Chain A
Amino acid sequence: MTTQDQPIHPIALQYARDEKAGKLSRREFIARTTALGVTVPAAYGLLGLAAPTAANAQAQQGGSVRMQMEVRAVKDPRAFDWPQITYVTAGWLEYLVEYNNDGSFQPMLLESWEVNDNATVYILNVRQGVTWNDGTPFTAEDVARNITGWCDTTVEGNSMAARFSAIIDTETGQALEGAIEVVDEYTVQLNLPAPDITLIAGMSDYPAAITPADFNADTMLENPVGTGPYLPETVDVGIRATLVRNENHDWWGYAAGKGAYLDRIEYIDYGTDPSAWVAAAAADEVDIIYETVGDFVDIFNSIGFIESSVASSSTVVIRPNQRAEIDGMRPYADKRVRQAIAMAVDNAVCLELGYASRGEVARNQHVGPMHPAWADVPALPHDPARALELLQEAGMADFEMDLVSIDDDWRKNTTDAVAAQLRDAGFNVKRTIIPGATFWNDWTEYPFSSTDWNHRPIDTQTLGLAYRSGEAWNESGFANAEFDALLAEANAIPDADNRRVVMRRLQEIMTDEGVTLQPYWRTIYRHAKPGFVGWDMNIAYLPHIYKIGIAA
């Protein structure tokens, strides 16, 4: 963490003026300034506020907790496609930086970081006194090795590469020569060819778990080397996973007062049907529900569970895949078809029927008012009659759209609401529901399907992950050179006001191309039995399991 007597980053001062002028939300202000290396108290100080103190100071040492959660197979962290996996691995594989609900980035395995004025040089100061649980010290080499690994685009399913594309050589598919520099035993310097404001945010995301030197994904459970306070006891896919305290390891967090209060954490898989979770809660078989959705929020409140909610930019997209081929043709490659889909659907109806109105209506742009550089670009008008005309112009009026969704509560209901509105507009729509166990096998390949997307702190992040040409998670098959160029440009403008000009253009492209339906922003919920602390829902579903404890 930068110390108070260091000069405040000039851009941070600009942000403080923006916040005062109402251009930045407080969360966004905290997110952006702490990403530049300003400490959390200093950031709050710029706003004339005192930093909030952690609420889990009242936890007692010891005890165990049982959490309802899908237990999925562990694999190479870079290929994680599901935050639930990290609730298991976070026991021993920790993160450099931690992202919190107030938008701040807290240092974890890093002690602090500094970013230069135009965001092209990052200096990462590695926390001293951290050891791996096999006894070797944690050094700058470990940080550099992990960042190099994140940049390796040849690893199948490596989504970290998209977050670190700024320092990847597109020809070799590896990190740029000289971009990652080990200055001394506890300092790493990143030299970017072009400014990028999102690297610290990228380090906090769930696939960014820090792995040891001879890490092997096949034996990571038998040989769980990491820096964290827990060890995996059992991981039975689809059944349960258990973490127990690693008694032989002096976790750095004990001295830093971080917690790790519990002796034992159990994750129990009750499938994807929320009514089974209610049954489990009523039977007192679980203490915490990973995530409560839709009508089940009220149901859990009614059985005496405590609610934790956070307004986020988590969302669901119902996207046609432009590259998908059906019977030798690409039905969604035609812009008119995609626009017709967007115009036939009223997003407010999707929010009401799909998510019980627990959120905000969105405009199909996957950038929202919670993002700093969001521009007020109108959505395509809701006009079912015109939608049908467009579809007929494209000659696709008889085409049967197969709308795929997972078999769960809110994603299925939202997709149903979309299908119903498309049918009302005169489209020919078939619905397919696929069970959770198989849905994700080829989620990017379905011609027309719904996917949930998590919150990301900075506006350009999701656009980069999901809509840049050729990205691993580009499920809409969107490939647009102008969009890619504008996105690179936006990523180099730290100032939100200046970036908004580019963002406006990006959002216009999203709207005009009808890339996706993105009907609403979700407020996300978690429930727990009374008597526990530190289990609050994280805005980005991050596994801050060391904070959980039994109330003293």
Chain B
Amino acid sequence: MGLFILRRIGIMILTALCLTFIVFWLTNLFPNLEKLAKTQGNFRMSDEAVLTYLGNNGYLQPLPVKYGQWLGVLPGYVIEGSDGQIRARCASGNEDIADAPTFCGILQGNWGYSTVFREDAGSIIATRLGLTGKLMFWVMLLMVPGALIIGVLAGMNEGSRTDRSLSTVSILSTATPEYVSGVVFISVFATATFGMQWFKGTATAAMDDANFENFFLPVLTIALYGMGYIARMTRASMTEVMTAQYIRTARLKGVAFSQIVLRHALRNALIAPFTVIMLQFPFLLNGVVIVETLFNYKGFGWTLVQAASNNDIELLLGVSIVSVFVVLTTQLISDIGYVFLNPRIRIA
């Protein structure tokens, strides 16, 4: 088991390296650097001024060198600018260059500087991730029990009227992407059009002070999308279990139906949905990009959109690392959890 986890962590690091290198390469393409220089300096800089700016700020070094500096395996640049001023990657603000550390990359815990928000990228990611965490927590709280109940109810009696109607609902909710359901919810429940103005169509206030009124719609929008999918998986797994020999035996013994479902079927039926639920975390990261933008909830997804559209190199890299970590960690948890739920599976 230990070896397995170790190997997984190795893969995680390798994936993070590959992904960040690709992002680094794309954001460091020259047109993107030019755009960055113009946002930072002036919207009407001449081409010479762009080159001086990029040169003075270390953007014109070879790609592997820049990447190495960002990682923290190569010493940060110290460049004497064309204006005679010495700039160092590791000296922030008014810090004296002599006092600055030699290495200041991600390995030293330095996430870099966001050019859009003019703040430390690490602290931005921490704040925004916290907000998204809050959103995810409530989504999970609504989605997982909801999906399991629907799935189990539908799967108890395959082909029954309950099964058909619940299946239709879950297929509908999975087939409706967030950007459709979100808009529909806002127009139905947050405007006076249908006389059902129960919720608020924006979640900006929920960042500081979340309540049912201003937070329910974004939570529902994300939760519904995943709920249908998990419910379908639960139903499939449940129907399979319900046809198993030992369930028939239990029935013949005269055990009550509710006892059969809760005691005998449920535990075995939950193995497959568990994996699906863990895999939903990465999908939720997708969903928050749309929903946070739609509801103006300034979390991780919104940050990703802002960073990408402004070519904010170091913030984008930070976002990538966090994404890799979330995806691979949830997979790891799902694999380990599987072993505990299903004794037939062994991890060497």
Contacts and interface: CB of A to CB of B under 8 A. Distances in A.
Interface stretch (A145-153, A232-240, A527-535): A232-240
Interface residues of A, number: 32
Nearest to A285: B205
B191 A282 contact: yes
A283 B186 CA distance: 11
Contacts of A237: 116-118
B186 A442 contact: no
Interface in A269-304: 269-271, 276, 278-280, 282-283, 285, 303
Contacts of A239: 298
B43 A279 contact: no
B38 A285 contact: no
A441 B190 contact: no
A156 interface: yes
A437 B293 CA distance: 13
B39 interface: yes
A331 B200 CA distance: 49
B38 A442 contact: yes
B27 to A, nearest CB: 14
A73 interface: yes
B310 A279 contact: no
Contacts of A444: 43-44
A283 B44 contact: no
B56 interface: no
B35 A472 contact: no
A426 B291 CA distance: 41
Interface string B25-56: 00000000001001101111100010000000
B318 interface: no
A276 B294 CA distance: 8
Contacts of B132: none
Contacts of A236: 117
A270 B302 CA distance: 12
B226 interface: no
A215 to B, nearest CB: 15
A280 B204 contact: yes
Given A282-B191, A438-B310, A442-B35, A238 B116 contact: yes
A285 B200 contact: yes
Interface residues of B, number: 30
Given A237-B116, A238-B306, A435-B309, A283 B39 contact: no
Contacts of B41: 156-157
A282 B197 contact: yes
A168 interface: no
Contact of B190 (A218, A279, A438): A279
A45 to B, nearest CB: 45
B43 A276 contact: no
Contact of B42 (A156, A218, A282, A303): A156
Given A157-B42, A279-B190, A282-B191, A437 B204 contact: no
A437 B309 contact: yes
B20 interface: no
Interface string A421-462: 000000000000001011011111100000000000000000
A121 interface: no
A471 B41 CA distance: 17
Contact of B201 (A279, A440, A445): A279
A303 B205 CA distance: 20
B167 interface: no
A283 B202 contact: yes
Given A73-B118, A280-B296, A285-B200, A441 B43 contact: yes
Interface in B291-318: 293, 296, 298, 306, 309-310
Contacts of A438: 35, 309-310
A88 to B, nearest CB: 14
Nearest to B214: A283
A79 interface: yes
Given A280-B201, A441-B310, 20 more contacts: A73-B116, A238-B116, A238-B306, A271-B296, A276-B201, A279-B200, A280-B202, A280-B296, A282-B191, A282-B200, A282-B201, A283-B202, A283-B205, A285-B202, A285-B205, A303-B192, A442-B43, A444-B43, A444-B44, A472-B44
18 contacts: A156-B42, A157-B42, A157-B44, A269-B296, A271-B296, A276-B296, A278-B191, A279-B200, A280-B201, A280-B202, A280-B204, A282-B200, A285-B202, A303-B192, A437-B309, A441-B38, A441-B43, A441-B310
Interface of B: 35, 38-39, 41-45, 49, 93, 116-118, 186, 190-192, 197, 200-202, 204-205, 214, 293, 296, 298, 306, 309-310
Name the 7 nearest CB pairs between A and B, nearest first.
Answer: A279-B201, A283-B200, A156-B42, A157-B42, A279-B202, A437-B309, A280-B202
